[in-house]
Each structure stands twice: as C-alpha cells, then as structure tokens.
Amino acid sequence: MSNIDIRVTGRAGRITLTRPRALNALSYEMCLAVDTALRNWREDDEIALVILDAEGDKAFCAGGDIAELYETGTQGDFAYAQRFWRDEYRMNARIFEYPKPVISLMQGFTMGGGVGLGCHGTHRVVCEGSQIAMPECGIGLVPDVGGSLLLALAPGRLGEYLGITGTRMGPDDAICAGFADHCIPRADWADLIELLEASGDPAHVERHAQPAPRGPLRDRSEDIDRYFGGETLTDIRNDLRAGSGDLVTEALKVVERNCPISMACTIEMIHRLRGPSLTIRKALEMEYRFTHRAMEHGDLLEGIRAQIIDKDRNPKWQFADGDVPAVAVSKMLQPLGEHTLTFEED
C-alpha cells in the first residue's frame, strides 16, 4: 500500500505512514493494514517490539481522512463511516492492549486519529516540534479513538479543557496531560530506531529521553480546574463568562465557536468514564455511541462542510445558543443495542 510501509527490520515490526503531503491522514485501508500487521506480529517470537512512525516533518498523523466520510455521508450512506469507526476503534484497542512494547515517534501534528494511533502505546515519544490535540468538537465530533480515556485520566480538569477547546499541546504539555511519555530531539530518532531494531530492547527510549522545555499547562492548571469544573457545558460557559484573564479569553472564544452538542457530550463522557472502572474498551464503546449517530443526528456533516469542504468557517450548529438540553446529550450517548461496539476478532 502506497500510503503505509509495513515491514520487519531486525527485532522490530515497523509501521510507517507514507503520505506526508496529506499530513499522513489515516484512511480506512490504512487502519485495516495496521490492525492486520499487529495481529500477525503478536505471536511472532522474532519480533520483540513495534515501532510506529511517519514520513515528513509536518505531521505524524493529523487525523482521519474525513473527506471520504463526508462524501458517503452526504449521499445518505452512514454505514461506511460507522464501519470505519468500528474497525478503527478495534485497532486502537489492539494497540493499547498489545502484549509487546509499542513505540510511537510523533513529530509535528498528532491529532484525532493520530492520537488513536500514537498515544496508546507503551513508549510515546515527542520532540521539540510536536503538537498534539483532540480538535473534534470543532467539526461536530467528540474526542474519540480512545482520546476520551486519555482526557478522563488527565490531571484535574485538564480533560474537560483539552476536550472542548482542542488546545494544542507541545512536548511538555503532552507529557503533563498523559498523551506522551518521553521527549527526544528529532535529530536523535534515526539512531534510536537503529538501536531498537538491532536490540529489541525498549529501554533505549528512556536512555535517549531529555527534559522538555516547560509548557504553559502546568502553570495554568489552577485556572483550568477553576473554570472547567462544572457539571455541564452551560456551567462551564457561565464560569468562563464570569471570569477574566488570558486563559478565559482564549477558551471562551473557542467554546463559543465549537459545536455545542459535541462539547456537551464530551463533558458528559469524561465525567461518566472518570474513575477506577475505566478501560480502553469502555471508553471506545462510549465514543462509538456518539460517532455512530454523528452524521444522522449530530452536526458532523455540517461541521466538515464548514471547516473542510466549503471552508466558510460558519457552521449552522444545532443548539447554536450553546444551551444543550440534557435529553439531547442522553440521546447521543444512549446504548446502541445490537449496534454496540464489540471487540471480538472476525
């Protein structure tokens, strides 16, 4: 496949995304290829670890290929997107639960589907140019691909903040929020990969790690906890409108622009998931409740149209005043019955 290079080098299973001009956006076929490789390598004793990386400097993976989802959705075909998400989420769970070390090297933009690919492994590496985010609420989706698990595990109310604003995290912020583990200068990656391939020893990752320059999130944590601790989107909006300071000004501007039903459901998802019973499968099943309905009953098609297709940046959201009824959130997140996401291997 021209968009992805899957091979074995030494003791390492190698998966490299190879469509840098498209910011290594993840297509359905690429998801299936990753999943197949992971299955094939799982019982292979010659393969000690898996390395995920990507070509180009701009992005590890800037997200899923949503243009193809829009084309099918606008024709009334919701099943294609539902199948895409179902199989992508199963691949995300496979990475999280993989019995061997999974090392991801995330340069540039790592967003949406890229988070699902790169942020569930055992050794998640960023560099000086890394920018990680979950910007789904800007197009009428929710943080998915297991992102809700990461947001629910983030310290304090960072999850709510990152989830509804889509704020980009540099290397230190990503480590602080639990989306990455180690910062290694990009110039050192080639040598690191050679060592990993030759030895099959993931300890080389930690040996190469260096402290990341301090990011803004650590200093903003107190304000984030104060303004994003509400039970609902309305609570958070009211707290922001009554507040002051740079964080409030920046966050309120984004919250007033993003999709209300998506933000309201994101907050509810994080609150439901947070706690000792959280698992990757529970998070993905909750996300799938929303994404399964996102085209037919949510604002996803309108969000993609406004941001990606027509680029008028003027979406006509449901609940445009920002007041999302609790019943609307419940409908988007209610169990799917026979369509519930499962993880049995086909």
Catalytic site positions: 64, 113, 136, 144
Interatomic CA distance for residues 308 and 146, integer angstroms: 23
Q: Find tokens 């110039």 and name the residue.
A: 187
Q: Which 8-state DSSP code applies to residue 52?
A: E
Interatomic CA distance for residues 19 and 25, integer angstroms: 7
**DSSP H helical segments within the chain, as ranges?**
28-42, 66-74, 79-96, 113-118, 147-153, 158-165, 171-177, 189-199, 203-208, 217-227, 233-241, 246-255, 260-273, 280-294, 300-304, 326-333
Interatomic CA distance for residues 264 and 283, integer angstroms: 16
Among 106, 108, 170, 112, CA closest to 137: 112
Strand partners, 14: 7, 51
Q: Which 8-state DSSP code applies to residue 156?
A: T
Decide if 210 contacts 171 (C-beta within 8 A). no
Q: Which 8-state DSSP code applies to residue 26?
A: B
